[in-house]
Amino acid sequence: MQAEIICVGTELLLGQIVNTNAAYLAERLARLGIDLYHLSTVGDNLPRLTALLRQAWQRVDLVLISGGLGPTLDDLTREAVALLAGEELVEDPGARRMIEEYFHRRGLPMPPANLRQALRPRSAVCLMNPYGTAPGLWLEKDGKMLAALPGVPIEMKYLMEEEVLPRLKRVRAQTGDPGPVLVSRVLKAAGIGESALVEKIRDLLAGQTNPTIAPLAKRGEVWLRLSAKAPSEEAAFALIRPVEETIRSRLRGYIFGTDREQLEEVVGRILTARGLTLGTAESCTGGLLSHRITGVPGASSYFQAGIVAYDNRIKEKVLGVEKALLQEYGAVSPQVARAMAEGMRRFYGVDLALSTTGIAGPGGATARKPVGLVYLALAYPGGTVTREERFCWDRTENKIAAAQAGLVLLWQHLEGGLSCAEQGSC
């Protein structure tokens, strides 16, 4: 099966937003082993959108469209699909109810403009969207398929997962021969840089063709993508398994998860399994650490409290950091990081307390304390460990890197992966 993706929106052609939908849709097709040879972006212009659509409809089996389903007059995907199909637009009663409900639930009157969103080409199906007022469209005609999805990422993803992918799988099952399948598995490592990681598996990287191994450096993590092709998913995963085992044994203590797993989820699972509670005492990360931790469903069962102690007065009052310590070493010091973490543990009765203090920038640096200098501490029942990190980015990236370093410290502690020297004062 061959597919083509068309992203619609003048804002994309003006460079006002980065097109993340394209990568998401492409990845989903790749996982199903559907070939994608063309991916195009076009503005809110009916003749150009229609021409592109006709070209795609002619050369592939499946056309995916994202964008152009909003309520305004420059949202033209419905019209273009109707022109392609040679059908008139009719109102879909179910879609109309969905849109009316959307406004009703919010206690708002439905603006008349939104009625346009209930229109569909006569033989198309509306895909119901619980996150917004734009239903998707699904069209099967002349042995070809077309799905039109909203441009808003959460709405697009929901409809892709819940409506489009099940239909594609059904069609492929019906047509008998599914062709070779490409599957990927991502191993995620933290606490090690890309070059150091690559050194440990250089021979594997060079020698492997099925699966291939592709390293990808992410913020504070290194991902290894293992991709294998085989007649079935099971056969492809069977090719991946022994290579994965070898990599895992070479990278013991670094690989924290696979595929979509995030570090905070892995940490949360360990805390839940061991019945441990957690608190945070943040300065330079400003709440990002607790935001990541509380992003995990069920985090309330282990995460109890976070203090963002930006002001030194708050460090004293809420975390019991002594004024003398702040004066002698300064707020950005291992001593204060330790006092913050220990204060969080002592005052709020959590099992583990993680703290950050540093200079996010652009201001606040001194001769001896540059922008990007961060101290972390983890207080646990047996003691406290501190760590120094030096980042060299802007405020946003320094905050992200410091929060990541905090989670890495916590994960390594939970995994027992810290040597006694690294544990510092343990």
Nearer residue to its own copies within complex by CB, 148 or 152: 152
Amino acid at 254: Y
Segment interacting with its own copies, rule: CB under 8 A, options 64-72, 78-86, 405-413, 418-426: 64-72
Residues in contact with its own copies, counted by CB under 8 A, come to a total of 108
Question: Site for its own copies (CB under 8 A): which residue of 1, 2, 38, 167?
Answer: 38
Question: Site for its own copies (CB under 8 A): which residue of 307, 326, 376, 414?
Answer: 307
Contacts of 20 (CB under 8 A, 6+ apart): 153
Nearer residue to its own copies within complex by CB, 104 or 122: 104
Which residues inside 313-372 make contact with its own copies, applying CB under 8 A? Answer: 313-314, 317-318, 348, 360-364
Phi (first) and psi of residue 157, to 5 degrees:
-65, -45
Alpha-carbon distance of 279 to 273, in angstroms, equals: 17
CB of 365 to its own copies, least distance (A): 12
CB of 410 to its own copies, least distance (A): 15
Q: Where are the beta strands (DSSP E) in 143-274?
A: 144-149, 181-190, 212-218, 221-230, 255-258
Instruction: Classify residue 23 by burial, with Cβ atoms within 10 Å: 0-12, 13-18, 19+.
Output: exposed
Nearer residue to its own copies within complex by CB, 65 or 308: 308
Which residues inside 98-137 make contact with its own copies, applying CB under 8 A? Answer: 105-106, 108, 110-111, 113-114, 130-131, 133
Q: How many CA atoms lie within 13 A of 239 on its CB side?
A: 21
Question: Site for its own copies (CB under 8 A): which residue of 141, 269, 369, 395?
Answer: 395
Question: Site for its own copies (CB under 8 A): which residue of 303, 375, 380, 411?
Answer: 303
Question: Site for its own copies (CB under 8 A): which residue of 8, 29, 64, 189?
Answer: 29
CB of 291 to its own copies, least distance (A): 4
Q: Dig out the tokens for 395 from the structure.
A: 């405020």
CB of 104 to its own copies, least distance (A): 12
Contacts of 87 (CB under 8 A, 6+ apart): 121, 122, 123, 124
Alpha-carbon distance of 404 to 381, in angstroms, equals: 22
Which residues inside 154-213 make contact with its own copies, applying CB under 8 A? Answer: 154, 184, 186, 193-196, 198-199, 205-206
CB of 27 to its own copies, least distance (A): 3
Amino acid at 267: V
Strand 2-8, strand 35-42: pairing: parallel
